[in-house]
Amino acid sequence: MSERVRQLYYGDCLSVMREQLADESVDLVYLDPPFNSKATYNVLFKPPEKMGEGSQIKAFDDTWHWNLESEREYDEILQNPQSSDLANLMEALRRFLGINDMLAYIVHMANRLLEIRRVMKPTASVYLHCDPTASHYLKLVMDGLFGAKNFRNEVIWHYSGWNRKLRDSYNKRHDVILFYSKDIKVVNFNSYALPWESEGEYVKVRKQKVRLDSDERKYVLSDKGGGERVKRYLSEAMVYGKPVDTIWDIPKLNNSDKEKLSYPTQKPQALLERIIEASSNEGDVVFDPFCGCGTSIHAAEALKRNWIGIDITHLAIALIKKRLTDAFGELAITTRGLPTSYAGAMELARADKHQFELWVIGLLNAQPYKGGRKGADTGIDGYLRYKYIVEGERDPERGTAIIEVKGGQTGVKDIRNLDSVITREQAEQGILVSAVKPTKKMLEHAAGKGLVKLGFQEYPVMQVIWLKDLMEGKAQVLHPSYRIDHTKQAPKQEGKNQLKMEG
């Protein structure tokens, strides 16, 4: 049996695919690229010079504004000899849309979809999960890349919600998933059916009289076509199941769902299991270039597929690893793009201060400040939260350690600043993680802050930790051992949903 492929990459999926993934190496692609459906349609279409201070949208701040990078990627598409149809489309879209954030989004996606097509095997399929605001443009891009003949379905994922009467439109309760094959002549697809709950449900849906043959087997009469009617035995119908169409009624996750994690765009595992079961087989490679909180990766692991995931945030990579460990125990996962040495960590600190801070917060399995969003941190990069028992008290107390991460030079002033934050936030402890080796005066100043009694033990109020020692296991954070996890624990995987396939 060949070794399982379990690979997580940190980075922009465009560069990772170009540098790391071979031609025709994956069997199924699912991607749910970031797109802020809460943003107003008009804001997305404003030219850059009309984007006022108040109309900036967080989800688009870093990626979806037209800039020099967008122009460079646009030129790459026009110059790519493998994308003449796509190039013609992009020129037409530029004339039609003008230079705005929607065009930036489409260019961003088109360049990555070009690489996705390259890494797909001839038998592979791709499912592009998108918001209805942009799905019609993305379908044109997919037609330009894969050819209209390889368009298989537009799947509507319908979910319920609390509807209200709107003045000018219907309530929006669906996402669009575009399903394409690379080559319809050889595409791998397993016809998909759900089980009937009972014979009674089948008869109710068919609205036909149940009859008995000479052996007292139940059947209904079905139209074969051309005016001919044939017997359809209920026992056979139960085995055949309900073939799935393009409207998928799968509930959206809510906060009470066991599988719900602290990730706003998390998709239900049942949705991904359906896609993976239908368009791949055990041992195939499932690829998600925008893997987020890792639902596709989780589903692939549960269904005994190999998998590759890419995400551009350290938080997502840390969350996926924790999710898989919670659900499956320790797995042999290859992680690439993250610092594995002190020198690599220092390189990240110089290259991207924000991602460096998030990576360190992930090392501590702590909660990032404001969910890891960019902006002024007011002296806080993250939190560790815990509980401890006070003598004579029945219910545990809650405590907090403030985390500050420094990628450059540090000094006693940083200890003083963190001490002020502890006082302001009424926290029990402060932890300063320094990329540069702390000075003797810093350590002495931190020790001078004394101890705090938390439950039955005393802990340092202030801790200064050298990142190199943390990475090498020579240093640890001292706090009460009962941690309050900032993400919900993924439930243990007990087996996939009851799904039926017709080969």
Between the ranges 172-176, 274-278, 455-459, where is the mean pLDDT highest? 274-278
Flag whether pLDDT at 42 surpasses 90: no
Mean pLDDT of the region 284-295:
95
Residue with tokens 């697809």: 189
SS (H, E, C) 196-223: CCCHHHHHHHHCCCCEECCCCCEEEEEE
Please state at what angle helix 101-119 crosses helix 13-20, rounded to 10 degrees: 20
Burial of 134 (0-12, 13-18, 19+ CB in 10 A): buried
d(CA 24, CA 123): 9
d(CA 428, CA 151): 58
The answer for residues whose C-beta is within 8 angstroms of residue 5's C-beta and 6 or more apart is 285, 306, 307, 308
- For residues 127 and 31, the answer to whether their CB atoms sit within 8 Å is yes
pLDDT at 501: 44
**Lowest-confidence region among 102-111, 124-133, 251-260, 368-377:** 368-377
d(CA 109, CA 439): 47
User: Is the sign of the CA dihedral 252, 258, 264, 268 positive or negative?
Assistant: negative
d(CA 9, CA 7): 7
Which amino acid is present at 313? T
How many Cα atoms sit within 13 Å of 103 on the Cβ side?
23
pLDDT in tens, 238-287: 999 999 999 999 999 988 888 888 777 889 999 999 999 999 999 999 99
pLDDT at 499: 39
Alpha helices, H only, 120-257: 135-146, 199-206, 234-240
pLDDT at 467: 95
* pTM metric for this prediction: 0.80
Hey, what are 455's tokens? 């439950």
- For residues 147 and 132, the answer to whether their CB atoms sit within 8 Å is no
pLDDT at 481: 79
Mean pLDDT of the region 463-471:
95
Residue whose C-alpha is closest to residue 43's, from 94, 101, 93, 99: 101
d(CA 336, CA 8): 6
Radius of gyration of the chain (CA): 27
Residue whose C-alpha is closest to residue 219's, from 228, 227, 209: 209
Domains in the chain and their CATH numbers?
A: 6-191+246-336 (3.40.50.150), 196-240 (no CATH), 342-483 (3.40.1350.10)
**Residue length, the chain?**
503
Flag whether pLDDT at 48 surpasses 80: no
**Lowest-confidence region among 34-38, 109-113, 223-227, 313-317:** 34-38
The answer for residues whose C-beta is within 8 angstroms of residue 94's C-beta and 6 or more apart is 74, 103
Residue 62: its H or E element: none
Q: Measured between alpha carbons, how far is residue 262 from residues 42, 67, 488 in Å?
A: 30, 32, 6
| 3-state SS class at 106 | helix
pLDDT at 65: 84
pLDDT at 488: 64
